């Protein structure tokens, strides 16, 4: 458990932004750290894909690029998707416990909860999506989420499951063939899921917002924050009820131009930073947004001024990451799960990425 201390003055907020903290640094620190940045430009996010894209290269429609590595022709279920929910939480709840992509890693999840002294009734459990598939205990993860009355947003794997079920129903009723691209992980899990499992993932909205008291100003976090949760990204120039589900669930990190894959993680984060800086300049009294997200498959946890990225590749024996609010504490647990249904080329690619990734030392002040 580590304490994350964010920038402490409004002047610092306008002059600088936090840079992502390296996961190995967090692990090596016995005390808490202050993550600081010296410029507004975005730092690397640990990807191995080409940076940027040709300025004049036309991009396919969003629906085709979002999830293009899975199944762009699938039947979506967004007509019934709840777009936004402001959570109504009992006054007895003291912490919001927000967990990154679990991907069926039930054992690391239970260890993480135990280590962080999770208590039902005093802690609100929230998942950023992708609870399932890639790990071997997706059913157990869903059972735990239901038992603990955990909240969630829809991730791309919940999205795939619901699309697959919709196509199965359509096939049985009308004989329309199921589109290709659903892997065995989706098919096998769908066959095991009960009505309660389906009801649970259907209940996950596109965007969640935590009550204001979880973003309250503290000594560690001196600005009132508006805590927003989405799986992959948010566009703060739009109302929460009008977010594009393709972008929010799938899009931000991968775009395809002439068959090449480009890292676009910087784009939505840069837009987020610009929006917040403009907001603070126009009305410093407004709560400052903090977006909590997963999806990006990074070996490093990404703690920033205006976003917390919590997907640290548990399914590839990385770590399972959570943040608690309003205490602003980072919690991590090592993962030993064996990945399932992952193509060998991807396992090799990710292993190469992990081997080649060097620890990045960001400017840091240790809090005693």
Residue 78 CA to chain centroid, in angstroms? Answer: 19
For the segment(s) 2-367, the CATH number from 1.10.40.60, 3.30.420.40, 3.60.21.10, 3.30.1490.190 is 3.60.21.10
**198 or 71, greater pLDDT:** 198
DSSP summary character for residue 70: T
**255 or 356, greater pLDDT:** 356
Q: What is the CA radius of gyration of the chain?
A: 20
Closest by CA to 250, choosing from 229, 236, 235, 233, is 233
Highest mean pLDDT among 25-34, 176-185, 327-336, 356-365: 327-336
**269 or 13, greater pLDDT:** 269
Cα–Cα distance measured from residue 341 to residue 262, given in angstroms and rounded to the nearest whole number: 24
Over pLDDT 90: what percentage of the chain? 49
Per-residue pLDDT, 18: 35
Q: Give residue limits of the domains in the chain.
A: 2-367
pLDDT grade for 192, boundaries at 50, 70 and 90 = very high
State the pTM of this model: 0.79
DSSP summary character for residue 120: B
Q: What is the mean pLDDT of residues 114-131?
A: 96
**325 or 351, greater pLDDT:** 325
Q: What is the mean pLDDT of residues 331-350?
A: 80
Cα–Cα distance measured from residue 140 to residue 145, given in angstroms and rounded to the nearest whole number: 9
Q: Considering only 178-187, 263-272, 296-305, which range has the smallest mean pLDDT?
A: 263-272
Query: Is the pLDDT assigned to residue 86 strictly greater than 80?
Result: yes
Per-residue pLDDT, 363: 29
Computed over every residue of the chain, the mean pLDDT equals 77
pLDDT grade for 107, boundaries at 50, 70 and 90 = very high
Given a contact cutoff of 8 angstroms between Cβ atoms, the answer to whether 247 and 271 are in contact is no
pLDDT grade for 250, boundaries at 50, 70 and 90 = confident
Give 9-59 pLDDT, tens digit per residue.
343 543 333 333 333 332 322 222 222 222 223 333 332 233 333 333 444
Given a contact cutoff of 8 angstroms between Cβ atoms, the answer to whether 304 and 45 are in contact is no
Cα–Cα distance measured from residue 76 to residue 92, given in angstroms and rounded to the nearest whole number: 38
Cα–Cα distance measured from residue 191 to residue 9, given in angstroms and rounded to the nearest whole number: 53
């Amino acid at each position: 458990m580590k304490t994350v201390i964010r920038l402490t003055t409004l002047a610092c907020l306008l002059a600088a932004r936090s840079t992502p903290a390296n996961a190995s640094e967090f692990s090596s620190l016995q005390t808490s750290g202050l993550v600081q940045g010296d410029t507004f430009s975005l730092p690397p996010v640990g990807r191995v894909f080409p940076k940027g894209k040709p300025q004049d290269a036309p991009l396919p429609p969003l629906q085709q690029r979002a999830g293009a590595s899975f199944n762009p022709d699938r039947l979506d279920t967004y007509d019934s998707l709840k777009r936004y929910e402001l959570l109504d939480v009992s006054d007895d709840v003291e912490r919001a416990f927000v967990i990154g992509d679990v991907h069926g890693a039930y054992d690391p999840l239970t260890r993480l909860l135990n280590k962080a002294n999770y208590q039902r009734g005093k802690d609100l459990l929230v998942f950023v999506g992708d609870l399932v598939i890639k790990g071997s205990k997706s059913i157990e993860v869903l059972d735990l989420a239901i038992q603990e009355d955990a909240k969630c947003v829809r991730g791309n794997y919940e999205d795939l499951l619901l699309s697959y079920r919709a196509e199965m129903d359509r096939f049985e009723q009308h004989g329309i063939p199921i589109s290709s691209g659903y892997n065995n992980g989706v098919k096998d899990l769908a066959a095991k899921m009960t009505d309660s499992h389906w009801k649970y993932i259907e209940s996950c909205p596109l965007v969640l917002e935590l009550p204001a008291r979880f973003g309250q100003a503290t000594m560690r976090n001196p600005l009132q924050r508006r805590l927003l949760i989405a799986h992959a990204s948010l566009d703060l120039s739009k109302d929460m009820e009008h977010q594009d589900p393709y972008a929010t669930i799938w899009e931000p990190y991968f775009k395809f131009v002439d068959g090449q894959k480009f890292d676009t993680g910087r784009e939505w984060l840069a837009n987020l930073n610009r929006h917040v800086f403009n907001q603070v300049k126009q009305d410093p009294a407004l709560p400052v947004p903090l977006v909590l997200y997963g999806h990006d498959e990074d070996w490093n946890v990404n703690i920033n001024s205006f976003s917390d990225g919590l997907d640290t590749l548990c399914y590839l024996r990385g770590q399972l990451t959570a943040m608690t609010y309003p205490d602003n504490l980072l919690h991590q647990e090592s993962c030993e799960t064996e990945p399932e249904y992952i193509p060998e080329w991807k396992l090799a690619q990710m292993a190469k990425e992990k081997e080649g990734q060097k620890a990045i030392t960001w400017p840091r002040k240790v809090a005693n």
